[in-house]
Amino acid sequence: MRWEKRGLVIPSPPPVSWAVSHAMVPFVEQRNDDLRIYFSGRDAEGRSSTGYAEGDTLQPEALRYAEHAILEPGPLGAFDDSGAMGSCLVSNGGRSHLYYIGWTRGVSVPFYTFVGCAVSDDGGETFRRVSSAPLLERADDDAYLTTSPWVLLEGDRWRMWYASGRGWTVEDTGPKHYYHLRYAESDDGLNWHRTGQVVIDFAGPEEYAIARPCVVKDGDTYRMWYSYRGDAYRIGYAESADGLSWQRKDAEAGIEPSEECWDSEMIEYPCVFQHGGQWHMLYNGNAYGATGVGQALGSHGD
């Protein structure tokens, strides 16, 4: 895939009352003729909430923004009291499942994250948490954190690709986290069986964070775009015949940082989808969404 950048679609700060900075981790719901772009913004305390902008095109001037966030940080002491950052949405039988990243501030390490879920039965107007506890709590295979879920529903099988914490080290600049991508399955989208299978691992000792997979079933091929990090985030790409065994093809991701401007230092958190017969990518650039959400149009290379 080759990507032609089309500039920012959501600025930072976004024009909403519930965020003072950032527009990050975009994902899309196609709603009849409209596209709804979900994203997270931060309040004055750095806590993330999830909201959306929608319109019949991805032209920035055509977007209408949600007046209120649809998912805000949880109560004091909850696993998401420091942020509720949306990651993907799955609709099934009139119910929308919003899978999100719950943030908790730490003491010995800066943060902990866990996967949560909120559902909507009114067409995405309001969402309610399915539990005050995370869907993916710590376990032997995920002893440090879980984050960045992406879920597909295939028949009656729910499939999740997510980031799993492998540990922390102490560096001159402070604690440094390590996480890569793993896999889980479910019969109902809420109770998950974690296989322990690593689907995307580190390519070398310079990598320490692989996050926010986006998986698309394209004919008989599963395509995954994700973020991988050494010195700075880049967008990677992998292919699979079954969604379990993946071949990294990062050189074929087809998108790199710009020479200057909002995405010159890093690119991350891609969401890839097809709309109007065209491949689209939404992604973040410098400083993890501090410069907004950009868009690109894709075409298959020779």
Give pLDDT tens digits for 181-190: 999 999 999 9
For the chain, the residue count is 302
Q: What is the CATH number of the domain that holds 240?
A: 2.115.10.20
Q: Which residue has the tokens 């998950």?
A: 192
- The confidence score (pLDDT) of residue 32 equals 83
Please give the average pLDDT of every successive group of 10 residues along the chain, which has 302 residues. 95 96 97 93 98 94 95 98 98 96 97 98 97 95 97 97 97 94 98 96 96 97 97 97 98 96 98 94 98 94 58
161, 244, 138: which is closest to 210 by C-alpha? 161
Contact 241, 221 (CB under 8 A): yes
At residue 208, what is the residue type? Answer: Y
At residue 147, what is the residue type? Answer: T
Backbone CA torsion sign across 24, 30, 31, 32: positive
- The confidence score (pLDDT) of residue 301 equals 63
Query: Is residue 236 classed exposed, middle or buried when 0-12, 13-18 and 19+ CB atoms within 10 A define those classes?
Result: buried
- The confidence score (pLDDT) of residue 299 equals 86
- The confidence score (pLDDT) of residue 300 equals 76
The percent of residues in the chain predicted with pLDDT above 70, rounded, is 99
117, 114, 98: which is closest to 106 by C-alpha? 114
d(CA 268, CA 282): 10
- The confidence score (pLDDT) of residue 1 equals 84
Contact 277, 300 (CB under 8 A): no
Structural domain of 83: 2-299
DSSP code per residue over 157-193: EEEEEEEEEEEEEEETTEEEEEEEEEEEEESSSSSEE
In total, how many domains does the chain have?
Answer: 1
pTM for this predicted structure: 0.97
d(CA 111, CA 114): 10
- The confidence score (pLDDT) of residue 60 equals 94
Q: Rounding to the nearest 10 degrees, give the CA dihedral for residues 142, 143, 146, 152.
A: 10
d(CA 114, CA 179): 13
- The confidence score (pLDDT) of residue 276 equals 87
At residue 59, what is the residue type? Answer: Q
